[in-house]
Each structure stands twice: as C-alpha cells, then as structure tokens.
C-alpha cells in the first residue's frame, strides 16, 4: 500500500484561509459601506462553506493518519510475518482508523444537525425581520436599514465578492473529481450559493441605477430587494432542511464496498446544479432514456453542449454593452455618474451614451412630475383617488377623502393634532395658564424638482423630500401657534393656505440661495384638504359652533330689526315735519295772498267801479258755466233793452242721461 500525500490538507487549509477574510469582508462592508440585505445573508452560505472546509480539513488529517498507520502496519507485518502479535485480527489496535470511524459516526452527524438547526433558526429570524420591512407601512424602517446606500457601491461589492468566489468554487468543484479531494465538493457548492447571491445583488444594483426615479421609487426598489432576499432565505431554509433529512436517509441508504464515500451533509440539490457536468449529464441521461438510444453521443448534441457556454457568454456581453445606451424621456433631466462622481452637465431629453457599469452610470429625474405629500396624517405620501368611496369604507386607512370631510366621521388612522393659540387664560395653581385649542388639519403640499438644480436634489441631502416635509410641518406649527381657530375654520381659510405656502417658499428660497444647502425643490401649491377639530371633541365642538352661529344669527336679526325701526321712525318724523311745514306755510301765505289780492281789487275798483263789477260778474259767470253740474237757461227780455237773465239750477238726472248700451 502506498502512502497518501498532504495535498488534501494543504488545499483545505488554503481554502479556509481564503474564505475567512472574504467572510469578514462581506459582513463588514454589507452593513457599513454598501448596505444590502441580499449580500448580508450571503454570509450564511459562506459560514457553512467555512465549517465544511474545516471538517474536510480535519478529516483529511485523520484519513492521512489512517493510511500512515496502515502503511506502518504493513511494513511491520512484512518484517514479522510469522508473529500473531502484529496480525490484522484485532481492530482495536488500529487507533487512527478507529478515530476516523468515530469522527464519521459521531462528529459528522452532530455537525450536520447543528448546522441544520442553527441555520433554520437564523433563516426564520431574518425572514421575519425582512417580511416586516417589505410591508407597505415600513418606509422609515427601510430608510434606516438602507441608510447611506449607494447603488454603485453595492455593484462594486457584489462584483468583488462574485469573481473570487466563482473562481474558488470552480477550482474546488474541479478538484473534487479526485477521490482524495472528494470532501471539498460540499464547500464548493455553498461557495457557489454565496456567489449566486452576490450576482443577484449586482443585478439588483444595476436595476437600481438604471430605473431609479425612472420607473420605480427608491422605496419600491428596496422592497424588491427585500422580497428577493426573503426568497433566497427560503432557498437556504430548504437546503438546511435537506441537511437534517439527510441524517434520516443516511441510515436507509444502501452501501456497497466500492461506493465512494461522500459527506452526509452534502446537498443533492446543489449537486445536481453544480457538480462537474451535473446538469449536462443528467439531461443527457434523460434524453437517452426517453429516445431509447445514445442521443447524447450524436454530433449535434455534442455541438450544442460545447456551444451553450459561448452563446450564454456572448449574450451576457451584449447585454452588458447595451448598458452603454440610455434614454432621457421628455420631462426628465439626467446626469452621468463617472466612478461615483456626478458630471456637471445636465442631460436634456434624448438618447445618450455612457460607459458600462461600473465605470459610468446615469441618474434620471422627472422634473415635470407633480409630487405631493399630506401633512396631518400618519402616511404622508399616501393619498386617496378622486373616485374613492365613502370615508368609512376606505381600503387604505391612511388616505384622505378630497371631496367631503365630516367632523364626526373617522377618515384616517393616527391623525395628528395641532395646537392653536387663543387669547384667553385660565387660573391655575401656578398662576395664569394660556389656553389652547386642538385642531386636526390635512394639508396637501404639491412640489416639483427644479430642472436647473437636480444636482442639489440628488446629492445635497439623502432625502430632500423628507426635508421639505419637515420644513412644511415646522412652518405649519409656527403659523398655527399664532392663529385663531375660528378664523381658520371660517372666513380666513384661504388666507391661511396662502400664508403657510408663502412661509414654506420663503424657507426654501433661503436654503436654495446657498448651493451647499439647496434642496432642488420648488413649491407648486398648498391646499388644506380638511380642517376640523379632533374626533374626540368633534360633537362638543359642533354644539359650541352651532350655539355661536345661533348667537350671531340672533344678533344680526336684532340689528336688522333695529335698522328697520330706525328707518320707519325717521320716515314718519320726516312726514310729520313736512306736513307741519306745509301747514305753517299755508297759514301764513294764504292770508297774505288774499290781502294782497284785495288791495289790488280795491285799487282797480276805485279807478273804474262799473268795469270792475262787470268783470267780476263775468268771471263768476265763467266759473259757473264751466261747472257741468249746474243747468243754465237763457231768457230773452220783452223790453227793448238788451237784458239777458240767466237762471241757474242744479242739474238733475233724467231719461236722457241714461246709458242704454250698458246694463
């Protein structure tokens, strides 16, 4: 029997030494420099690979010692061939062999069970944590989990982990074809799994760079990564379950003398995928069985088997080069990012070119989109549509109905309550205490990204929209502290909106005047969607408002009655004064007029008495003649004198006065 070299030990030791810094490097940078949930959980398969490498290392030492023991016993047996003391009858004398058997019998199952149980517990813990982060109302938790994240950093870290792990796994996988290094196949499988997760992390980083602010929001991309991470954790959970079930199946597995030993914890699932030629051989055997002849030995299948890898590689290269072209759509502005540094030129709409990742990337911002948030509700960036149903039937409780808000109906969860100043005070133990009112207010703020200042929007602040929300809340609270509740609810509501909007714009202008503090945002409009007292006091406040309205109504009615009485009194007094003045004039002017007329008559009478009497007689006759009620008769005198006697008699109605046409 020939001896066995220490090559297996050396390779296992070197693999352990390489994996350990990669593990530390991954854990440290995935939490500090490039926060990524997927890269962080890739530490799990790295730890498993490290444990299995240590097991393979220790077992290779035991196997070597066993072979050395066997070699030594053979040499001694050749020298003392006739002595029974050195015969092969007593197995207890084979110390190294017994140690290796005890290791296989006890250490391997214990390691497998511990790895499976601890792995499942860790997978469940992280899956529960990330499931909470993937929920709809976890915006603040996501921002905290991915604080300081840069997509370019994530891509760079993923590539730095992917390349060495794939090279190491491929080397160990090829090395495991040799029976001496057979136990290095299980670490190679788990290194492949870690490299696969790093590759998926790189793809998600490219998606984030490519589609951020173009199709998806930052929060949506974070949720996508969390969901992919949960699926990868489920995959790890399946592999850990396989390790535990493998202990049961191992007892019922048939064994033959010439069967090659394999670790009990080695995954059959990963073996199908990552074993040398595993997939190709499995497909070939399936085709041979299906068609009944060696189709895997035909020239076409051999050509396909040889050409698949170059074809896939060519597709990957083409897809990689396609990253050099990107489009800035109408209403958008973009920047070229060269090795993490933003270019000074703002890209207008059109087809643009750049170097592929990781040398250059692009940032696209929609500058015409009207963005909005709502102050006074727990989910400030969620809003109901115009066609929403009744307020008490909303599917999303953190939305606000833009049409009607009734004070006594609950519309949103966790409404914010603001304090509004009053002019009154109340007496307390410590002296006069200012009184305040409580108010629930939903104000929608609409804003845009300034197309001339997208550098500030992208790089001055981690979340400029959150900063704008904080500024708006600050100005709103400051305004309400000096406002009047009744005025806000009533006639000064429009003025309140204008005043708050002006205050926010003034603060934004102050920040935007300095390039280092600029936000890159501009206010479009502010509207108060709903202003009402808190729900707990809404009915009482409604009673107070109703009583106040009744008071104002009665006061206005009294004022109107007062004005009516005053006007009627003034009109009546004016009429009385006018009548008195007229009577006064009548009493004074008529006698004076008659006296003046009498004096004129006397003067005329003295000048011509006969003529005056004749004229007076004729005037009387004329007046009498004009009266139709008096009947006139003319009688001629018998004497020769021209004498006309007129007999006047009041007319009486006769038959000639009857109107026969009327009945």
- Which pLDDT tens digit goes with each residue over 384-410? 333 333 333 333 444 444 455 566 666
Tell me: do 457 and 337 sit in the same domain.
no
Regarding pTM above 0.85, the answer is no
Tell me: do 188 and 270 sit in the same domain.
yes
Alpha-carbon distance of 185 to 53, in angstroms, equals: 9
Per the listing, tokens 């008769």 go with: 633
- Alpha carbon of 16 to those of 51, 493, 514, 552, 592: distances in Å? 9, 71, 54, 87, 142
Question: Do the domain assignments include residue 481?
Answer: yes
User: What is Dmax (Cα atoms) for the chain?
Assistant: 218
Question: Do the domain assignments include residue 652?
Answer: no
Which SS3 state, helix, strand or coil, does residue 453 take? coil
Tell me: do 378 and 359 sit in the same domain.
no
Tell me: do 130 and 156 sit in the same domain.
yes
**Would you place residue 606 in the very low, low, confident or very high pLDDT band (cuts 50, 70, 90)?**
confident
Alpha-carbon distance of 361 to 340, in angstroms, equals: 8
| Bridge-based pairing state of the strands 350-353 and 360-366 | unpaired
Mean of the per-residue pLDDT values of the chain: 76
Per the listing, tokens 């083409």 go with: 318
Alpha-carbon distance of 129 to 133, in angstroms, equals: 7
Is the link from the previous residue into 358 a cis peptide, with omega within 30 of 0?
yes
Tell me: do 481 and 529 sit in the same domain.
yes
Domain boundary among 513, 533, 553: 533
Question: Do the domain assignments include residue 16?
Answer: yes
Alpha-carbon distance of 492 to 407, in angstroms, equals: 19
Q: Which carries the bigger pLDDT value, residue 320 or residue 335?
A: 335
Tell me: do 467 and 339 sit in the same domain.
no
Tell me: do 289 and 346 sit in the same domain.
no
Answer yes or no: is pLDDT of 493 > 80: no
Question: Do the domain assignments include residue 650?
Answer: no
Tell me: do 186 and 318 sit in the same domain.
yes
Q: Provide the domain count of the chain.
A: 4
> What are the tens digits of pLDDT across the range 166-177?
888 888 888 888
Alpha-carbon distance of 114 to 184, in angstroms, equals: 20
Question: Do the domain assignments include residue 649?
Answer: no
Res 543: pLDDT: 77
Question: Do the domain assignments include residue 655?
Answer: no
Percent of the chain at pLDDT > 90 equals 11
Containing domain of residue 516, as a range? 371-533
> What are the tens digits of pLDDT across the range 55-89?
999 999 988 888 888 888 888 877 766 555 445 55
Tell me: do 481 and 509 sit in the same domain.
yes
Question: Do the domain assignments include residue 645?
Answer: no
CATH number for the domain including 418?
3.30.479.30
Domain boundary among 292, 322, 352: 322
Tell me the range of 426-435, 450-459, 620-629 where mean pLDDT is highest: 450-459
Nearest to 42 by CA among 172, 246, 220, 235: 235
Alpha-carbon distance of 234 to 119, in angstroms, equals: 11
- Alpha carbon of 321 to those of 181, 416, 436: distances in Å? 39, 51, 65
> What are the tens digits of pLDDT across the range 510-568?
998 888 889 889 999 888 877 777 776 667 777 777 787 788 888 988 888 888 888 88
Tell me: do 400 and 287 sit in the same domain.
no
Residues across the chain: 663
Tell me: do 176 and 34 sit in the same domain.
yes
Question: Do the domain assignments include residue 469?
Answer: yes
Domain boundary among 348, 366, 384: 366
Task: Give alpha helix (H) positions in 458-537.
Answer: 464-480, 485-489, 493-512
Percent of the chain at pLDDT > 70 equals 71
Tell me: do 162 and 290 sit in the same domain.
yes
Res 619: pLDDT: 79
């Amino acid at each position: 029997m020939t001896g066995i070299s220490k090559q297996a030990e050396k390779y296992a030791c070197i693999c352990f030494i390489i994996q350990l810094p990669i593990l530390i490097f991954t854990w440290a940078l995935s939490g500090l420099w490039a926060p990524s949930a997927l890269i962080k959980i890739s530490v799990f398969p790295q730890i498993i690979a490290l444990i299995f490498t240590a097991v393979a290392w220790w077992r290779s030492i035991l196997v070597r010692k066993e072979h050395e023991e066997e070699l030594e016993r053979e040499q001694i047996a050749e020298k003392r061939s006739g002595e029974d003391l050195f015969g092969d009858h007593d197995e207890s004398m084979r110390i190294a062999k017994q140690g290796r058997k005890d290791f296989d019998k006890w250490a391997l199952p214990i390691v497998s069970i511990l790895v499976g149980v601890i792995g499942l517990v860790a997978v469940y813990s992280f899956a529960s944590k990330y499931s909470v982060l993937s929920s709809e109302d976890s915006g603040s938790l996501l921002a905290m989990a991915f604080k300081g994240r840069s997509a370019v950093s994530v891509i760079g870290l993923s590539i730095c982990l992917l390349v060495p792990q794939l090279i190491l796994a491929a080397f160990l996988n090829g090395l495991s074809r040799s029976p001496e290094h057979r136990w290095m196949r299980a670490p190679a499988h788990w290194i492949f799994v870690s490299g696969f997760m790093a590759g998926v992390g790189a793809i998600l980083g490219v998606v984030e760079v490519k589609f951020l602010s173009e199709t998806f929001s930052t929060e949506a991309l974070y949720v996508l990564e969390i969901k992919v991470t949960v699926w990868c954790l489920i995959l790890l959970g399946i592999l850990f379950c396989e390790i535990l079930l493998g202990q049961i199946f191992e007892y019922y597995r048939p064994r033959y003398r010439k069967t090659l030993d394999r670790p009990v914890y080695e995954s059959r699932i990963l073996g199908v995928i990552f074993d040398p030629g595993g997939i190709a051989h499995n497909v070939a055997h399936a085709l041979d069985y299906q068609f009944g002849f060696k189709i895997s030995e035909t020239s076409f299948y051999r050509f396909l088997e040889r050409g698949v890898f170059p074809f896939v590689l060519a597709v990957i290269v083409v897809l990689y080069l396609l990253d050099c072209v990107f489009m800035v759509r109408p209403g958008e502005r973009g920047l070229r990012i060269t090795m993490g540094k933003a270019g000074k030129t703002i890209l207008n709409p059109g087809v643009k070119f750049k170097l592929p990742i990781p040398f250059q990337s692009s940032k696209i911002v929609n500058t015409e989109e009207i963005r909005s948030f709502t102050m006074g509700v727990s989910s400030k960036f969620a809003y109901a549509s115009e066609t929403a149903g009744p307020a008490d039937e909303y599917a999303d409780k953190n939305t606000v109905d833009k049409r009607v808000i009734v004070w006594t109906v609950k519309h949103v969860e966790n409404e914010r309550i603001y304090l509004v100043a009053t002019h009154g005070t109340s007496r307390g133990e410590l002296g006069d205490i200012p009184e305040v009112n409580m108010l629930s207010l939903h104000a929608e703020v609409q804003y845009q990204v300034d197309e001339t200042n997208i550098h500030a929007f992208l790089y001055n602040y981690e979340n400029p929209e959150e900063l704008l929300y904080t500024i708006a809340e600050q100005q709103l609270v400051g305004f309400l502290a000096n406002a009047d509740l009744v005025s806000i609810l009533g006639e000064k509501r429009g003025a309140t909106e204008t005043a708050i909007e002006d205050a926010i714009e003034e603060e934004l202008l102050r920040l935007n005047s300095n390039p280092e503090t600029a936000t890159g945002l501009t206010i479009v409009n502010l509207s108060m969607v709903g202003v009402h007292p808190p729900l707990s006091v809404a009915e009482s406040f409604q009673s107070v408002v109703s009583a106040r309205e009744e008071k104002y109504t009665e006061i206005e009615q009294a004022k109107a009655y007062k004005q009516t009485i005053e006007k009627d009194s003034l009109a009546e007094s004016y009429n009385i004064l006018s009548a008195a003045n007229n009577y006064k004039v009548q009493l004074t002017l008529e006698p004076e007029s008659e006296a003046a007329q009498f004096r004129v008559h006397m003067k005329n009478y003295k000048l011509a008495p006969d003529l005056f009497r004749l004229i007076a007689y004729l005037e009387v006759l004329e007046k009498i003649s004009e009266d139709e009620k008096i009947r006139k008769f003319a009688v001629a005198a018998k004497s020769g004198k021209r004498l006309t006697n007129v007999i006047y008699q009041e007319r009486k109605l006769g038959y000639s006065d009857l109107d026969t046409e009327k009945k």
